[in-house]
Amino acid sequence: MPDGNDPLEPVDPGQAIAPGGGYGGGMDLAASDAQALEHPPGTGQDAGGPTGKPRSLWSDAWRDLRRNPVFIISALIILFLVFIAIWPGSITTQDPLKADLARSMDGPAPGHPFGFDSQGRDVYTRMVYGARASVTVGVCATAGVVILGSVLGGLAGFFGGWWDAILSRISDVFFGIPVILGGLVFLSVVTNSTVWPVIGFMVLLGWPQIARIARGSVITARQNDYVQAARALGAGNRRMLVRHIAPNAVAPVIVVGTIALGTYIALEATLSYLGVGLKPPTVSWGIDISDASTEIRDAPHMLLWPAGALSLTVLAFIMLGDAVRDALDPKLR
Amino acid sequence: MGRYVIRRLLQMIPVFIGSTFLIFFMVYALGDPVAALFGDRAPDPATAQRIRHDLYLDHSLGAQYLHYMKNIFVGDFGTAFNGEAVTSLMGSAFPVTIRLTIVAIIFEIIIGIALGVITGMRRGKPVDTGVLLLTLVVISVPTFVTGYVLQYVFGVRLGWTAPSVSPGAPFNELVLPGLVLALVSLAYVTRLTRTSIAENTRADYVRTAIAKGLPRRRVIVRHLLRNSLIPVVTFIGTDIGALMGGAIVTERIFNIHGVGYQLYQGILRNNAPTVVGFVTVLVLVFLLANLLVDLLYAVLDPRIRYA
């Protein structure tokens, strides 16, 4: 933070990355890291290691990921984004809200590499500050969706019966509402202009997606022989879920969660573009693109820079999810 | 099969009630339709009271919802605040959006499945990597960005199509908007088909078919595609509802007077009858599309038998 009167007051940088630790689908990735660390790469890395201990899916996946250029590039982009979301002042010294109408829609000038928008604000600075809203919405919405969805869906898949039936019908209800439409209706009545209504809406409509996937993969996992064996040995529900089913069912959730993080960022921009998502003075790429869209014939640079930043961010998360999926899906090896 | 259809139709009832009530609740309870009628001015309390009574808004929310649903079943979706019947708005808006959705679905099926088959059969080759990267880029660029850029390039710069669509919205003007609407789903269809094909090429039945000496074409079309397309069909089916609801952005960019346009106007002005009516119909379309997809399962996959 450069000083006390930060223009982006509503977004607390501490909260911004808290739930996911800065990672897509944070909770589960953190869990997978922890598991990978039980077998530190240093000991088990070469040909199964001296102890001959079998490598887990996670340490296998981690070995693959570290060698995958797509993963490294997308992870670096994401780390950089998280960094500027927390400390935007570190790569720009200007104020994203300072407007100089005399320079409206001007092209690049010394100190202003990307030119000015229609209100004469520096496009580069606004691009940098826009990362915060996007990363906050993406990370918090994904954390909420993954936690709620995997708990509800996982329990439905494990226990089945009436709980499963009720949950499936409830998730059908939320599935029945098209996302953008629901966003317009729900958010147009909200007057609060922080990121929280947007995040809350995404969690509300997003959890059935993860719940379905968690349910499906738990059902698949619980039919496996080793789960039946554990049951025959007298393992309780809790032990079977935690020790046997969850580690084998969590992979699809992580993959979909990471990719969903990218799509939530795009959704936030779309809602802001339609005028119901984030609202000024919050700096958001979606708002800037919406402002620029009417001037695209005269000043395409106004649209292209925030649009490029938005697309690159979404791309980074989707590529990360893709790389993680390839690493976690042994069927495709 | 018949019993299954009936059971599914019965299951749809609570979902339909749930979704419509949720929307009804958001529009009527969170917003204030009567205040919206007066714009920025505060309404005269007596007049507001009168309007509330006329619009059945002075009852409890549950009673309002029942009243609304009762009217819907006799085809009365109420009147928009400009005096036009909501059904007449629907009559002009839905054909336009249905045409737009058809164009988008055709793009998805033809380009998406073709690309998916090509890349799935050549996993790891340069074509595969190239197309895969392209789908990632397409998924990452939000619709409103591709929409404006394509409109600018093809409509304004090159002049190949009209930049905005005329009120009649004939098919030939909807090609570019349809492509914009389809792009993201198209990329998903490509990836889904690719994954599915790649998984199934190693299946025993494919090896058997090849070993039997069947021509490659027959193996792909009759054996491989038939099994691989099951998840793709599900996706496209559920996408119909999403496309019709998500057309708001595309319709706004190209100035198409379809469902999205009417809904956007309705939501901005808090025009409750329009919003609830349109969303109700969209939810119904979505549910029926899902049912249709499940029935198609049985046709595509003989292993699935509905009792």
- pLDDT surpassing 50 at residue A18: no
* pLDDT at residue B206 in the model: 87
* pLDDT at residue B252 in the model: 86
Residue A9 neighbours by CB distance under 10 Å: 11
Residue of B188 and A47 predicted with greater confidence: B188
Which of A131, A188, A139 has its CA nearest to residue A8? A131
Complex ipTM tops 0.95: no
With pLDDT > 90 as the criterion, what percentage of chain B qualifies?
7
CA dist A251 → A16, A22, A129, B188, B238 (Å): 25, 19, 33, 20, 24
Give the closest of B19, B30, B142 to A266, CB-based: B142
Q: DSSP string covering B164-221, please?
A: S--TT--GGGGHHHHHHHHHHHHHHHHHHHHHHHHHHTTSHHHHHHHHTT--HHHIII
- pLDDT surpassing 60 at residue A30: no
The mean per-residue pLDDT over the stretch A200-204 comes to: 89
Which helix (H) or strand (E) element contains residue B260? helix B259-268
The mean per-residue pLDDT over the stretch A118-146 comes to: 85
A204 interfacial to chain B (CB closer than 8 Å): no
pLDDT band at B307, cuts 50/70/90?
A: low
* pLDDT at residue B283 in the model: 82
**How far does the CA of residue B267 sit from the closest CA of chain A (Å)?**
6
Angle among Cα B104, B109, B112 to the nearest 5 degrees reads 100
Cα separation of B177 and B253, whole Å? 9
Cα separation of B161 and B72, whole Å? 40
Which of B79, B80, B65 has its CA nearest to residue B20? B65
Decide if A18 contacts A134 (C-beta within 8 A).
no
Cα separation of B304 and B307, whole Å? 10
Find how far residue B198's CA is from the centre of its chain: 28
**Residue B190: strand pairing partners:** none
The mean per-residue pLDDT over the stretch B108-115 comes to: 91
* pLDDT at residue A44 in the model: 38
pLDDT band at A141, cuts 50/70/90?
A: very high
* pLDDT at residue B106 in the model: 93
Cα separation of A315 and A85, whole Å? 17
Residue recorded with tokens 């004469």: A120
* pLDDT at residue A14 in the model: 33
Q: Residues of B numbered 156-215 whose beta carbons fall under 8 angstroms of chain A's beta carbons: which are they?
A: 156, 198-199
pLDDT digits (tens, 9 = 90+) for B35-55: 766 766 777 777 777 777 777
- pLDDT surpassing 80 at residue A202: yes
The mean per-residue pLDDT over the stretch A171-199 comes to: 79
* pLDDT at residue A54 in the model: 65
* A47 dihedral zone (left: phi>0; alpha: psi -120 to 50; beta): left
The mean per-residue pLDDT over the stretch A2-26 comes to: 34
Cα separation of B108 and B242, whole Å? 13
pLDDT digits (tens, 9 = 90+) for B228-247: 888 888 888 878 877 887 78
Residue of A102 and A84 predicted with greater confidence: A84
B18 interfacial to chain A (CB closer than 8 Å): yes
The mean per-residue pLDDT over the stretch A59-73 comes to: 83
The mean per-residue pLDDT over the stretch A105-112 comes to: 70
CA dist A3 → A13, A88, A93, A284 (Å): 13, 12, 12, 21
Angle among Cα A277, A278, A280 to the nearest 5 degrees reads 135
- pLDDT surpassing 60 at residue B279: yes
Cα separation of A292 and A283, whole Å? 14
Give the closest of B30, B140, B198 to A189, CB-based: B30
Decide if B206 contacts B219 (C-beta within 8 A).
yes
B79: CB partners within 8 A, 6+ apart: B85, B86, B273
With pLDDT > 90 as the criterion, what percentage of chain A qualifies?
4
CB contact under 8 A, A311 and B11: no
CB contact under 8 A, A312 and B264: no
**How far does the CA of residue A153 sit from the closest CA of chain B (Å)?**
18
Find the radius of gyration of the CA atoms of chain B: 23
DSSP SS3 for A97: coil
The mean per-residue pLDDT over the stretch A185-193 comes to: 76
Q: What is the DSSP letter of A89?
A: G
* pLDDT at residue A5 in the model: 38
User: Of the segments A180-189, B150-159, B211-220, which one has the largest average pLDDT value?
Assistant: B211-220
In B, minimum Cα distance to A267 occurs at B142
Q: Which residues of B touch A186 (CB under 8 A)?
A: 26, 30
Q: Where are the alpha helices (DSSP H) in chain A?
A: 13-17, 26-38, 41-44, 57-66, 69-86, 123-159, 161-175, 179-188, 196-222, 225-232, 237-239, 246-273, 285-293, 300-328
Q: φ and ψ at A116, to 5 degrees?
A: -125, 155
Residue B290 neighbours by CB distance under 10 Å: 21
Token pair recorded at residue B51:
């309007």
B178 HSE (CA, 13 A, CB side): 24
In A, minimum Cα distance to B239 occurs at A178
Residue A156 neighbours by CB distance under 10 Å: 24
Token pair recorded at residue A153:
């869906």
